[in-house]
Amino acid sequence: MAYRILIIDDSPTMRQLLTFAVKRLSGVETVEAADGVDGYKKLTNEKFDLVLADINMPVMDGLKLVSIIRDNPDYKDIPIVMVTTEGGKEDREKAISLGANAYITKPIQAPHVLSVVKELLKIT
Amino acid sequence: MSDEKNIFSRAEEFMQLFKKGADFTQDLLKENERLRFKVVQLEEENRLAKVSGAGGGDKLVVELNKKLQTIEDEMQKLLERHRTVEAENKDFANKYLEIEYENNNLANLYIASFQLHSTLDFKEVLQIILEIIINLIGAETFGVLLLDEKTNELAAVATEGVDREDIPLIKIGTGIIGGVAKSGENFFVEEIKPFDKFDPQIPIVCISLKIKEHVIGVIAIYKLLQQKPKFTELDYELFTLLAGHAATAIFSSKLYSESERKLSTIQGFINLLTK
């Protein structure tokens, strides 16, 4: 089965790292976006199975993006994974309370990202 | 008349009784026959059991013992094989983890070097260096300082978590940072202690940016992200990569920017002369 993952991060290095991590799953296709607005636009124009989003981004940050996605009934069930440098407990709790399904802190480990994605996509 | 009737009825009773007696005798004879046959049968079985018990039984026990031993030997072999396979499995699992770890490290190094050489724009190169240090190493406060060969001073050209102005000019050979720029040898603290306050002269890591043996600047890291308690093996690989590749990327992008600037100046002159 093919999965489409939307990667939203202002850092091209980070986008490449996340793409590398998730593409180890066979049949995964990724689309990249550089900020929250660009990401939301792509989410509403195409079909995705999961969103990986940074928190600190220009134009629209990741937390605002999560609340906008969850406000839209069409995307209330899409899994969202926050990938961020913010390692504080409050940041994590805030992201989860807004509707994020998982929270990964940087620097990332590809196997960890992969296991979180597999769990959310229910891939055994 | 009645006596005659009485006699007949008694004779009838007697006849019936006699018949019952005859039937009973017949049954007894049959039962006797059956029991005799049973006795003969049991005697024969007993004789056969006695015959097989003497000699033949020992043979059977020996054969059974042999079979039992063979089965036990096979079981031991199988258990041994199981242990070997189990150990091999563990070994493969460990190797798989090691390969996974190496694969991850190589991918990170590839991505870092790919990004570093993806542009000739000086500002972009600096931005990529910052991204690598934040996202791959996990540093929160750090600066990239370049050496001015005329003044022999190091000046911050890009920073994260601290303003550029907060890192003063550092003379080559002075303090940890100046010492790294002079010797070209990287500096790492032995133990990362909890961050107290920012001191631009005291980094936890200082990497020299070198092209061959020529130092063009340093990267000074003051604080790691709170979720990053210590450096990993990959970090040291990344430091080595940054020392070489970041230096080359900075140097070539600077040269490119300068040549672009000179080219546009010359173009301006040519335009002025030909007008």
3-state SS, B22-90, equals HHHHHHHHHHHHHHHHHHHHHHHHHHHHHHHHCCHHHHHHHHHHHHHHHHHHHHHHHHHHHHHHHHHHH
Beta partners for residue B118, in sequence order: none
Query: Please, which pLDDT band fits residue B61 given cuts at 50, 70 and 90?
Result: confident
Half-sphere exposure of B157 (CA within 13 A, CB side): 20
pLDDT the model gives residue A25: 87
Local structure of B118: helix, strand or coil? coil
Measured between beta carbons, which residues in chain B are less than 8 angstroms from residue A110? Answer: 104, 107
Please give the residue of chain B at the shortest CA–CA distance from A16: B111
For residue A87, give how far its alpha carbon lies from the nearest alpha carbon of chain B (Å).
6
How far apart are the C-alpha atoms of A88 and B242, rounded to whole Å? 28
pLDDT, tens digit, 9 for 90 and up, residues B19-42: 888 888 888 888 888 898 888 888
CA nearest to B175, candidates B196, B145, B150, B195: B145
Which residues in chain B have Cβ-Cβ distances shorter than 8 Å to A108? 135
| Residue in the structure block whose two tokens are 């604080």 | B223
Closest chain A residue to B99, measured at CA = A111
Q: In this predicted structure, what is the pLDDT of residue B43?
A: 86
Residue B56 has what pLDDT? 60
CA dist list (Å): A11 to A15, A55, B160, B222, B260:
6, 12, 14, 22, 26
pLDDT tens readout for residues B203-214 = 999 999 999 888
> Could you tell me if B183 and B195 are in contact, meaning their C-beta atoms sit under 8 angstroms apart?
no
pLDDT at position B52, please?
65
A85 and B134 within 8 Å at the Cβ level: the answer is yes
Residue type present at position B209: L
pLDDT digits (tens, 9 = 90+) for B138-194: 899 999 999 998 999 999 999 999 999 999 999 999 999 999 999 999 998 888 888
Residue predicted with more confidence, B234 or A53: A53
ipTM above 0.90, yes or no: no
**Lowest pLDDT segment from B5-19, B85-99, B100-114, B235-249:** B5-19
User: What is the reported pLDDT for B181?
Assistant: 92
Give me the pLDDT at residue B1, please. Answer: 55
Residue window 62-101, chain A: list those with CB within 8 Å of chain B. 85, 87-88
In this complex, the residue of A14, A20, A107 whose CB is nearest that of residue B137 is A107
Helix (H, G, I), strand (E, B) or coil at A120: helix
Strand partners, B155: B146
Q: Is B271 on the interface with A (CB under 8 A)?
A: no
Q: What is the pLDDT of residue B13?
A: 83
Q: pLDDT per residue over B82-109, tens digit each? A: 999 999 999 999 999 888 888 888 888 8
Q: Which residues of chain A have pLDDT under 70?
A: none
